Structure 1
Amino acid sequence: MNRVVSFELSSQDPERAAGFYSTVFGWKIAEPNWGYYPATTGEADKQGINGGISKGPSDFPHGTRIQIEVQNIDETITKSVDLGAQIVREKMEFDDFYLAYLVDPVGNGIGLIQYK
Structure 2
Amino acid sequence: MAHGDITHIDIPVSDMARATAFYSGLFGWNIAEMPGFEGYPMWQAPNNISGGGLAPRDDGFEQPRSYVEVDSIDDTIVAAEAAGGSVARAKAPITETSAWAVIVDPDGNHIGLFEGVVGG
TM-score range for the pair, normalised by the shorter chain length: 0.7 to 0.9
Q: CA RMSD in A?
A: 1.7
3-state DSSP of counterpart to 1:63: coil
The question of whether the paired residues in 1 share the 8 Å contact of 2:40 and 2:55 is answered with: yes
Q: Summarize the Cα distance change of 1:34–1:110 in structure 2 as closer, same or farther, 3 Å threshold.
A: farther
The question of whether the paired residues in 1 share the 8 Å contact of 2:9 and 2:65 is answered with: yes
Equivalent residue in structure 1 for 2:22, among 20, 23, 38: 20
Distance 1:19 1:81 in 2: 39
Aligned to 1:8: 10
The question of whether the paired residues in 1 share the 8 Å contact of 2:33 and 2:39 is answered with: no
Give the partner amino acid of 2:47. Answer: E
More divergent stretch after superposition (49-58 vs 29-38): 29-38
Aligned to 2:77: 77
Relative to the length of structure 1, the TM-score reads 0.85
Distance 2:32 2:108 in 1: 30
Identity of aligned residues (%): 32
The question of whether the paired residues in 2 share the 8 Å contact of 1:103 and 1:109 is answered with: yes
User: Structure 1, residues 61-105: CA drift from partner, whole Å, max 9, x if none?
Assistant: x21111000001100011111112121110011214100012211
For structure 1, the residue ranges without an aligned partner over 5 or more in a row are: none
Distance 2:67 2:60 in 1: 17
The question of whether the paired residues in 1 share the 8 Å contact of 2:33 and 2:41 is answered with: yes
Aligned to 1:36: 40
Shift of 1:12: 2.3
Aligned to 1:66: 66
Aligned to 2:92: 92
The question of whether the paired residues in 2 share the 8 Å contact of 1:30 and 1:39 is answered with: yes
3-state DSSP of counterpart to 2:41: strand
Q: How many residues were matched structurally?
A: 112
Give the partner amino acid of 1:76. Answer: T
